[in-house]
């Protein structure tokens, strides 16, 4: 097997994406495991369709670290779902939390989730982005598998299967999948949706900023009161990095 990519080496993103063009999701995961070795991790929010990526990836890399960011505000059903999938798939689960407790955050800043976009961004930096950054550092991650799909948000529509974000590589095995493919995978492998899925929750985050959606709404319309689409985990930290995403060498 080729030497794994490390923080001191660089990957030709154009060549990598060309090599993976048309590859199925399993092959993308295999490529990531071969390319990044022990530096590979994955994340899961244990959302509506989380079982797809968890099953897909752990079939190829059974011991891959699975990072779950516990904001302290998940639905009770989410915690139960995480326990169920962890037991069923024997996940190597790594739970990370903000060093600021939910109560202390509210005492210091108020109920940030009830404010404007700037308040929501501060909330996400405290409860999600900082813990994820710390997880990636402590796990010595050089690459991160994520279950993003192009149809979910405007930002995700522009992504390639392999990207570079915040000094690490991001790999998106199911980027081109649609809702039908997700459903068929769950059905084929007898995997569950999140318990709230059948109650109209298509995209599930924290209880205070997630709502059920109507039949004509997009799956992300139930998040963040319509003020934004992303929580900050899957976007570049700087405009310069966003502008350089499509450069051939990084």
Identify the sign of the CA torsion 177, 130, 80, 78.
negative
CATH classification (class only), 28-233: alpha beta
Could you give the percent of the chain with pLDDT greater than 90? Answer: 62
- In this predicted structure, the answer to whether residue 140 has a pLDDT above a threshold of 90 is yes
**Residue 234 — very low, low, confident or very high, per pLDDT cuts 50/70/90?**
very low
Domain ranges of the chain: 28-233
Mean pLDDT along residues 106-132: 93
Q: Where are the beta strands (DSSP E) in 44-161?
A: 65-69, 92-96, 143-145
The predicted pLDDT at position 150 comes to: 80
pTM of the model: 0.84
Mean pLDDT along residues 6-33: 89
- Most confident option among 2-11, 66-75, 115-124, 217-226: 66-75
User: Would you please indicate which residues are annotated as catalytic (active-site) residues?
Assistant: 231
Could you give the percent of the chain with pLDDT greater than 70? Answer: 82
Residue 175 phi/psi, 5° resolution?
Answer: -55, -40
Mean pLDDT along residues 14-35: 94
């Amino acid at each position: 097997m080729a030497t794994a990519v490390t923080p001191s080496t660089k990957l030709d993103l154009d060549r990598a994406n060309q090599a993976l063009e048309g590859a199925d999701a399993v092959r993308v995961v295999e490529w990531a495991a071969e390319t990044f070795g022990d530096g590979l991790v994955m994340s899961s929010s244990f959302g509506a369709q989380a079982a797809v990526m968890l099953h897909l990836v752990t079939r190829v890399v059974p011991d891959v670290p699975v990072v779950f960011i516990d904001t302290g505000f998940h639905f009770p059903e989410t915690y139960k779902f995480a326990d169920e999938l962890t037991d069923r798939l024997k996940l190597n689960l790594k739970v990370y939390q903000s060093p600021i407790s939910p109560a202390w955050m509210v005492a210091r800043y108020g109920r940030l989730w009830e404010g404007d976009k700037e308040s929501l961004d501060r909330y996400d930096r405290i409860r999600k982005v900082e813990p994820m950054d710390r997880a990636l550092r402590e796990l010595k991650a050089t690459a991160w598998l994520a279950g993003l799909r192009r149809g979910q948000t405007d930002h995700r529509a522009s992504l390639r299967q392999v990207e570079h974000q915040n000094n690490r590589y991001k790999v998106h095995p199911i980027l081109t999948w649609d809702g039908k493919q997700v459903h068929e995978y769950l059905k084929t492998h007898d995997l569950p949706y999140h318990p709230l899925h059948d109650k109209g929750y298509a995209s599930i985050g924290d209880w205070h900023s997630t709502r059920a959606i109507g039949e004509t709404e997009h799956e992300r319309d139930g998040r963040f009161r319509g003020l934004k689409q992303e929580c900050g985990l899957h976007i570049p930290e700087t405009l310069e990095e966003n502008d350089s995403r499509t450069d051939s060498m990084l």
